[in-house]
Structure 1
Amino acid sequence: MLYAQTTPADKRAAFRERLASGELLRFPGAFNPLSARLIERKGFEGVYISGAVLSADLGLPDIGLTTLTEVAGRGRQIARMTELPAIIDADTGFGEPMNVARTVQELEDAGLAGLHIEDQVNPKRCGHLDGKQVVDEHTALQRIAAAVDARRDPNFLVMARTDIRAVDGLDAAADRAKKLVDAGADAIFPEAMASLEEFAAIRAAVDVPLLANMTEFGKSELFTVQQLADVGMNIVIWPVSLLRIAMGAAGRALDELTDAGSLTAMLGEMQHRADLYDLIDYEGYNHFDTSIFNFTVAR
């Protein structure tokens, strides 16, 4: 009932232990707290919170328009609703190194298990669009050093994302990954890798956990979990997939309303009321205090 029973500190410790095992952890992207609970129910290892999804949820493009307050608030809502660890997209850290430090502590306080900070310039662009620009090496390393220095829980994961592959090539990505690790990054997110061989090259360059981004309609082929495990990836995210599927279904439903005047033909595609009530634990609330919550759950 209400929120997760596992504390943020315990989630972080368990996440770090599992990440150290070397297995590939699956983190689908949650577009709201309810979808995070569904990800847990379906047996995944963690929840990812995408900056692109947070922007889209506000009706905005993913070009650095969201604020730390908005991201931390939504991150808190999602992280507290699941027993799973949640990693959040912190874009470029929302400012200069001192801002990055504040970002880390705000997201720690919001209950997240970790974040990633990228090396793009502000305003940033979606990682799979052309025309990206990255900051110089010194600035990139300063961001990560500030993040590591600011965290209070040593188990809070500070991941460095580098977008330099699309700007200066694979060798530059491997070189920057090494230097980001030297600056204190616990893990590396090499964005927009073009092949399994490119993922393998980053794996050969650094000895920290690596994240693979399997976003649709982007620069990377959509590799399977097993393919990514075979080249040594440790986390795989599908950042926008559930939102895309949900919005696609919503569009089809609206078309059906326009064409048929009702949604009777689409009932089989909907989450049943009983399944929704089970997911949000109506029964638990009912049992909590029957003098107040005295409704009956429909079956």
Structure 2
Amino acid sequence: MSTRKTLKALVNARRGAIVPGAFNALSARVIEDLGFEAIYVTGAGVTNMNLGLPDQGFMGLAEIAEATSRIRDAVGLPLLVDMDTGFGNALNTYHSVRILERAGADCIQLEDQVAPKRCGHFSGKEVISTEEAVSKIKAAVDARTDPDFLIMARTDAAATHGFEAAVERAQRFAEAGADILFVEAVTKAEEIRALPQRLGPPQLMNMVIGGKTPIFGAEELGTLGYGIVLYANAALQGALAGMQKALTVLRDTRRVDEDPNLVAPFAERQRLVGKPAWDALEKKYT
């Protein structure tokens, strides 16, 4: 089964599959190695880890396409790719979908913020009109060449126009052809419980550690009917904590020993980057 058909089945099962975010090829390898079923290529993570900047619209199409291509080469799991606002109008959205589909995405996420967008859990967000957002979703649907390629439509309207307006927008997005709906940054537990009852297509719920949405367990979200439980930057936040811990020890003690509670062993790092397979290939050609 293709990764796109696999993802479609995963989403439609509505069992709350946990999808962690990857910010580069090695983080994607770790996610795959630990047995997760799909990977989210996080725009915030690519921006933070590659540019050293906050998630405020600094990432462009080239950066996310390059990250997607490298991750696609490294892993065999389905990839959901953060396409921000489509990097412009409906025509830019059409172009961005074509680029990311060729780069190896199995699904793109398109949101309705005014450009430059910002993290869904930052203050100061604004959204475009429903009509413009719908036109961009229609462009995304028309741009895909594989009918199994999925379009995920995200709305940030809950923060600016309220929960009911966000639900109404999401319904319009479904009518425009979106396969997956994503109502971002809801702030109340009852809203989380209500969304699967209010909207027909499969949905994603974003669990942002330290964000505005109450944290629910994936099992409960699956019981409620969510298709995907997104932890877009758990790996990134874990990596930051690990780097700070290891480097603090190095700074304070002037050495770091091979302590598996502090750093990954040398052999484990080589395993994750596939060195044994490359050694075998080298032997074949020597």
Q: Using CA pairs below 8 Å that are at least 6 residues apart, which structure has the higher relative contact order?
A: 2
Q: Separation in 2 of the partners of 1:39 and 1:179?
A: 34
The equivalent position to 2:16 in structure 1, one of 6, 10, 24, is 24
Structure 1 CA distance for aligned equivalents of residues 118 and 271 of structure 2: 39
> Is 2:97 aligned against 1:104?
yes
Give how far 1:201 is off: 2.2
Q: Does the 8 Å CA contact 2:180/2:202 hold for their aligned counterparts?
A: yes
1:224 paired to 2:217: yes
- Structure 2 contact 246–263 (Cα < 8 Å) conserved: no
Counterpart amino acid of residue 42 in structure 1: L
Check the 8 A contact 2:111/2:156 in 1, yes or no: yes
Kindly report which structure 2 residues correspond to 1:1-299, keeping only aligned pairs within 5 A, or say none.
10-57=2-49, 58-264=51-257, 266-290=259-283
Residue identity over aligned pairs, in percent, reads: 38
TM (norm. structure 1) is: 0.91
Shift of 1:265: 7.9
Name whichever of 85-94 and 245-254 sits farther off: 245-254
Contact kept in structure 1, 2:28 and 2:74, CA below 8 Å: yes
Cα contact 2:17–2:222 (8 A) shared by 1: no
Asked whether the 8 Å contact 1:174–1:201 carries over to 2, the reply is: no
Name the counterpart of 1:296.
none
Q: Provide closer, same or farther for how the CA distance between residues 52 and 227 of structure 1 changes in structure 2, counting only shifts above 3 A.
A: same
How far residue 70 of structure 1 moved from its aligned partner, in angstroms, is: 1.0
Conserved 8 A contact 2:250-2:256: yes
Distance, in Å, in 1 between the alignment partners of 2:235 and 2:282 is 35
278-287 or 221-230, which deviates more: 278-287
Q: What letter matches 2:71 in structure 1?
A: I
Structure 2: tracts of 5 or more residues without a match: none
- Tell me the amino acid that sits aligned with residue 16 of structure 1: K
CA contact (8 A) 1:25 1:236 kept: yes
CA distance in 2, matches of 1:269, 1:61: 27
Q: Distance in 2 between matches of 1:258 and 1:176?
A: 51
Taking a change above 3 Å as real, the CA distance of residues 265 and 42 of structure 1, as seen in their structure-2 partners, is closer
Residues 50, 89 of structure 1: 8 Å contact kept: yes
State which drifts further: 265-274 or 227-236.
265-274
**How many Å separate the matches in 2 of 1:27 and 1:40?**
10
SS at match of 1:29: strand
Whether contact under 8 Å (2:28, 2:71) holds in the other structure is yes
Q: 1:91 is matched by which residue type in structure 2?
A: D
- Cα drift, residue 22 of structure 1: 2.7
8 Å CA contact retained: 2:81, 2:108:
yes
For residue 31 of structure 2, what is the amino acid of its counterpart? I
Secondary structure, aligned partner of 2:153:
strand
Equivalent pair of 2:107/2:152 in contact (CA under 8 Å): yes
| SS of residue paired to 2:261 | helix
Q: Distance in 2 between matches of 1:181 and 1:267?
A: 47
SS of 1:129's partner is coil
